[in-house]
Structure 1
């Protein structure tokens, strides 16, 4: 099934949510929603019972889904939304894919937690997607998630959550100083949390003292392999979130980091540099527990 969304009124729908709402939950065949270039200012919800959906844009720079809720935004009952209801795009379904689009939370810096993409469904795939925001840009909820050639920006905990999420050749961009890229809450006993393969980290002018991560929960796992890091990354690399006990349980790993921010001799003692044998186990199918993101 193919549906076209166009802001210029030359498609089946002018709004993405209207297109999603038109999909029958009784038909579980895959649906492709082609999104033509434009700025779509709307808050999106994809329910848990939705069939497999592909959101297909033409150009991530020109196909933008944007909203500006944050944790302090009041709902219809006058109560703050909180972090988990602030998302621009909220994905609860299984087997969801997005390509060539931008997902933006336009709330702005200093407004607190403001999620661009709230991804809480298993087997989610993102290719050439830009995630724009400041604090808490990307929430990775349950299941396995795969990000390929994506751009993710923010300042504080801008990739956070419990999922096993693989970031393959992605670009991370730090917007302000003294922040944290990741805040993993990997469940105890989970083999992999966040894995960054062949990524790069850049920053805005003058940005410094950024940490690779801090453990939102005690067993947070984050690994950076062959990642190019600019000088915004602080020497110690990792932060314990003010909870020294988490140093004993979280797993923070690197392998062959390069660039001005790669300083293995200065890293905190409770992080690890992987051996080549250990790093060889970080293969896509192994990380994702045998799930094969089609087309990678």
Structure 2
């Protein structure tokens, strides 16, 4: 009898996976093929040329995850964004086994090296708290897509690490304190909520290479938060040629009237490219912005299209 029950349960699991088109199911209660997300990642065949879908059931998965560069076309689907949580608690000054600081890059809860990665309905979190740099998501792979995902942390929450990487964030929630969206990738943020927490100072810290035309574009995003008035800048240049543009964004009153910060380097005012178009809300103060930033004309703003910024890639058609 116990064998019959086992095979019936196994049949139901396989049937449900086929019905919804998932390749793998992760569930902490054992109702899927894997109990951990990393085990499902490891099961993806290297250099597979088809999409591998991994459905992750509700739960808090405390794992330090690595999606290797050989794992391409992997698609994470969470059961529900707020209750399907991938988390870890490393941070910059936490010691490794040799007594050395892990560093900012070493603090990430998940590393995404594979190309064509996508995720939806998930929470990515660094749960270490306000202890300095502590990355929730570190993305190096090209053509990474996130839809209806939440990124939780404090300083350095989302690291768009990849040089030359193109990334797309749609209807996402991203929170943090200082430089909580940072890195060298080209990234488009569509209808995202950017939540500025108390104790912070800068929303973005792009390090766009001088050879790359576009850095960050935030389109129709809302900057919300519980930070005091006039406490945040829209961005500061981690590297000299940082590029960040806000289009049609609603800005809370915590955005400082000057808008941007040169990170204590006079030369950054000549090399960084910071711009806005049609900002609204109490944080929109076009006449008070720093003189070295740009207020785009309608014609200039029209040049910022999704496929132009992402160099021919349209993530909405995949």
Instruction: Say yes or no: TM over 0.5.
Output: yes
TM-superposition CA deviations, 1:20-78 (whole Å, max 9, x none): 11122153321100001111011110011112100001211110011000011111222
Q: C-alpha offsets along residues 222-281 of structure 1, whole Å, 9 cap, x if unaligned?
A: 000000001010000100000011100100000000000000011101001000000001
* Superposition RMSD in Å: 1.2
The partner residue of 1:270 within 267, 275, 292 is: 292
Alignment-derived partner of residue 186 in structure 1: 208
Moved over 2 A (4+): 26-29, 205-208
SS where residue 168 of structure 2 aligns? strand
Q: In structure 1, which of residues 261, 279, 282 is the aligned counterpart of residue 301 of structure 2?
A: 279
Looking at CA atoms only, which structure, 1 or 2, has the larger radius of gyration?
2
Measure, in 1, the Cα distance between the counterparts of 2:74 and 2:312: 21
Question: Does 1:37 find its partner at 2:58?
Answer: yes
Q: Does structure 1 residue 7 correspond to structure 2 residue 28?
A: yes
Match of 2:263 among 238, 241, 246: 241
* Correspondence for 1:106 among 78, 103, 127: 127
Instruction: Check conservation: 1:68, 1:106, Cα contact below 8 A.
Output: yes
Mapped contact 1:168–1:196 kept (Cα < 8 A): yes
Q: Is the 8 A contact 1:176 1:207 kept in 2?
A: no
Q: 1:69 is matched with which residue: 72, 90, 101?
A: 90
Q: Does the Cα contact within 8 Å between 1:175 and 1:207 map onto a contact in 2?
A: no
Report the Cα distance in structure 1 between the residues aligned to 2:209 and 2:203, rounded to whole angstroms.
19
Per the alignment, residue 68 of structure 2 pairs with 47
The normalised TM-score by structure 2 is: 0.90
2: CA distance, partners of 1:62 / 1:173: 19
Where structure 2 has 5 or more consecutive residues not aligned to the other structure, the ranges are: 1-21
TM-score with structure 1 setting the length = 0.97
Q: Which residue of 2 aligns with 1:223?
A: 245
Greater helix proportion? 2
Alignment of 1:158-173 (within 5 A): 158-173=180-195
Residue 155 of structure 2: aligned partner: 135
CA apart distance, 1:178: 4.8
More moved, 17-26 vs 161-170: 17-26
Aligned equivalent of 1:203: 225
In the alignment, what sits opposite 1:28?
A: 49
Contact 2:205/2:236 (<8 A) preserved = yes
